[in-house]
Amino acid sequence: VARCEAEEASTSPKPYVEESRFNWKLFWQFLRPHLLVLGAAIVLALGAALVNVQIPLLLGQLVEIVAKYTREHMGSFMTESQSLSTRLLLLYGIQGLLTFGYLVLLSRIGERMAVDMRRTLFCSLLRQDIAFFDAKKTGQLVSRLTTDVQEFKSSFKLVISQGLRSCTQVAGCLVSLSMLSTRLTLLLMVATPTLMGVGTLMGSALRKLSRQSQEQIARATGVADEALGNVRTVRAFAMEHREEERYGTELEESRCKAEELGRGIALFQGLSNIAFNCMVLGTLFIGGSLVAGQQLTGGDLMSFLVASQTVQRSLANLSILFGQVVRGLSAGARVFEYMTLSPCIPLSGGRCIPKEDLRGAITFQNVSFSYPCRPSFEVLKDFNLTLPPGKIVALVGQSGEGKTTVASLLERFYDPTAGVVLLDGWDLRTLDPSWLRGQVIGFISQEPVLFGTTIMENIRFGKLEASDEEVYAAAQEANAHDFITSFPEGYGTIVGERGATLSGGQKQRLAIARALIKQPTVLVMDEATSALDTESERVVQEALDRASAGHTVLVIAHRLSTVRRAHCIIVMAHGRVWESGTHEELMKKHGLYAELIRRQTLDAPLTSTPP
């Protein structure tokens, strides 16, 4: 028992995944095409900041003139202040223009990078192994495409615009401050870093809170995503209240976290307001005494005040920005994480057998397999199976014995842990997977998934270059043409998301048409009729029987009535081939198959009795 538990512990996924690092190299690749524009944006932003440094100095001079006129009313204020005012107006205009310019450029870079990143990430996600998706939640993957890219983009823009501006302003204003009054500047340089230190400490606590709050929001979104995505199941089990509660609990939790964060931010703001106001008062007080001692003019004090305010505002901005940088980097790390992840099974590449040489013989040789997310549980053990070309082989067995797993290995959704799967004697691992899936194997599953587009497009999904005539032919072969043409829109009918607007039998027949249009050499049907009622089963079965002719067929069936015609029936149990033979041979054996048949014929009268 102890060993079992140890195994369990080692295979269960870690609750806290280590945060991956930010990939600067990848970031550089996304940034490189925009370097020129970025350079221009930086120049404009620097320009705007330098203009900002000039403004307080001119304002001080203006105040000086005003002060002069409060003392003595001689000469014309207008003429004296005119040139200063025009210069100020000009600077304001230039500052506005530069700001406009660099914001436009930055938004251009940001949006283009976001599109590139989303496209690359989506592309790389679609290429991941099926095992990857077994282990991940769709909602989290989608949020990397949406929220994380968004967050990264806004951080990037903010860092460039605010960061550059704040840094330049701090530097520029410090220079002008020290020119105005060295003594005051020294005082300011002692007081400000002290306050900044306190602020940074508080800020890091706030950032931690903010991260927790974000994670909680993501958890709540996951719950909503799951419930909305599977709304039929939720409805069928009348689980609305439970889901509401579940979502409510998560929301409540995120509210608590967010309110805590809100209180933290409020405290921070309140305290920093007090600090800033005290600094103003202090500067006025000390500066005032300097003015009284005639060491400083009133206008200089005014300039000093405005400039020191600029410095403080810029420093505060920088500290907020620092938090944004951290958040942006972790969002970026999440975006980049899967971009560099390469799947074990590539999408394409490898040998294609020319059409005329392809016979469609499949062999499973001593195949053992366990799912990557549950490595300690072996689903197939030393499994052997042969599908002769052009023959129908049926795979039967109780639920959970690994029948679907066999089909997945054949599609190469996974590679076997041991042993090989061969097509015409070639190891599947040496063949081109996209050729294999796209042209050799036609797969019809128990729950056909259709896409939210027209019937025409859904069937054409099997072969993108198919002509309309080919689509009609495939639909006819799949017993689907008649019901399709009975719709007012015919082949142009839009099926709802996941085919929600069609019946089970209709969906299944579209799925069959979609598989047949490829003209696959090997046809795999995984319990294709088991979800259907008797009437649709008959229609679908008819289509399947017709489709089977001339293909190598693997029929996975739960209902044994559908497999009698098979050339060979394989009974699976405990991950192995338990027995095999034709229907008659197996019945004579009085083994597992005979037992399964006996049980189903016992059940049959019950299920076919009208209510």
Interaction site with ligand ADP (CB under 6 A): 134, 371, 373-374, 379, 397, 399-405
Structure-block tokens of residue 116 = 């590139």
Using the minimum distance from each CB to Mg ion, give the nearer residue, 173 or 557. 557
The CA distance from 565 to 474, in Å, is 23
Q: What is the DSSP letter of 494?
A: B
Using the minimum distance from each CB to ligand ADP, give the nearer residue, 22 or 593. 593
204 binds, among ligand ADP, Mg ion, none (CB under 5 to 8 A by kind): none
Using the minimum distance from each CB to ligand ADP, give the nearer residue, 354 or 400. 400
Query: Exposure string (b/e) for 506-517, b if CB count within 10 Å is 16 or more?
Result: bbbbbbbbbbbb
Say whether residue 154 binds Mg ion (CB under 5 A).
no
Q: How many chain residues interact with Mg ion (CB under 5 A)?
A: 1
Tell me how far, at minimum, the Cβ of 405 lies from ligand ADP, in Å.
Answer: 3
Tell me how far, at minimum, the Cβ of 437 lies from Mg ion, in Å.
Answer: 19
Using the minimum distance from each CB to ligand ADP, give the nearer residue, 116 or 378. 378
Tell me how far, at minimum, the Cβ of 402 lies from ligand ADP, in Å.
Answer: 4
Q: Are strands 418-423 and 568-573 parallel, antiparallel or unpaired?
A: unpaired
The CA distance from 241 to 247, in Å, is 10
Using the minimum distance from each CB to ligand ADP, give the nearer residue, 379 or 421. 379
Structure-block tokens of residue 467 = 């002509």
From the list 522, 508, 517, 441, the residue with the least C-alpha distance to 474 is 517
Using the minimum distance from each CB to ligand ADP, give the nearer residue, 19 or 134. 134
Using the minimum distance from each CB to ligand ADP, give the nearer residue, 250 or 527. 527
379 binds, among Mg ion, ligand ADP, none (CB under 5 to 8 A by kind): ligand ADP
From the list 470, 451, 388, 471, the residue with the least C-alpha distance to 422 is 388
Tell me how far, at minimum, the Cβ of 447 lies from Mg ion, in Å.
Answer: 10
374 binds, among Mg ion, ligand ADP, none (CB under 5 to 8 A by kind): ligand ADP
401 binds, among Mg ion, ligand ADP, none (CB under 5 to 8 A by kind): ligand ADP
Give yes or no for a contact between 518 and 444, defined as CB atoms under 8 angstroms apart.
no
Tell me how far, at minimum, the Cβ of 407 lies from Mg ion, in Å.
Answer: 8
Extract the runs of DSSP E, i.e. beta strands, from 543-595. Answer: 552-557, 568-573, 576-581
Q: What is the DSSP letter of 390?
A: T
Q: Which of these segments, 116-124, 180-188, 396-404, 513-521, binds Mg ion (CB under 5 A)? A: 396-404
144 binds, among ligand ADP, Mg ion, none (CB under 5 to 8 A by kind): none
Give yes or no for a contact between 305 and 57, defined as CB atoms under 8 angstroms apart.
no
Q: What is the DSSP letter of 161?
A: I
Q: What is the dihedral of CA 110, 114, 117, 121, to 10 degrees?
A: 160
Using the minimum distance from each CB to ligand ADP, give the nearer residue, 272 or 404. 404
Tell me how far, at minimum, the Cβ of 8 lies from ligand ADP, in Å.
Answer: 14
Tell me how far, at minimum, the Cβ of 132 lies from ligand ADP, in Å.
Answer: 11
Tell me how far, at minimum, the Cβ of 386 lies from Mg ion, in Å.
Answer: 21
Query: Exposure string (b/e) for 262-290, b if CB count within 10 Å is 16 or more?
Result: eebeeebeeebeebeeebeeebeebbeeb
The CA distance from 344 to 366, in Å, is 21
The CA distance from 485 to 502, in Å, is 14
Using the minimum distance from each CB to ligand ADP, give the nearer residue, 134 or 545. 134
The CA distance from 453 to 460, in Å, is 11
Using the minimum distance from each CB to ligand ADP, give the nearer residue, 30 or 383. 383
Tell me how far, at minimum, the Cβ of 134 lies from ligand ADP, in Å.
Answer: 4
Token match 């439970």: residue?
A: 242
Extract the runs of DSSP E, i.e. beta strands, from 388-530. Answer: 392-397, 418-423, 426-427, 441-444, 522-526
- Note every long-range contact of 292-299, with CB atoms under 8 Å and residues 24 or more positions apart, other chains counting: 295/181, 296/180, 296/181, 296/184, 297/64, 298/63, 298/64, 298/67, 299/60, 299/61, 299/62, 299/63, 299/64, 299/65, 299/67
Say whether residue 404 binds Mg ion (CB under 5 A).
yes
Say whether residue 530 binds Mg ion (CB under 5 A).
no
Tell me how far, at minimum, the Cβ of 526 lies from Mg ion, in Å.
Answer: 6
Tell me how far, at minimum, the Cβ of 133 lies from ligand ADP, in Å.
Answer: 9
Using the minimum distance from each CB to ligand ADP, give the nearer residue, 265 or 597. 597
Tell me how far, at minimum, the Cβ of 447 lies from ligand ADP, in Å.
Answer: 12
H or E segment and range at residue 381? strand 378-387
Using the minimum distance from each CB to ligand ADP, give the nearer residue, 39 or 375. 375
Q: Which residues bind Mg ion (CB under 5 A)?
A: 404
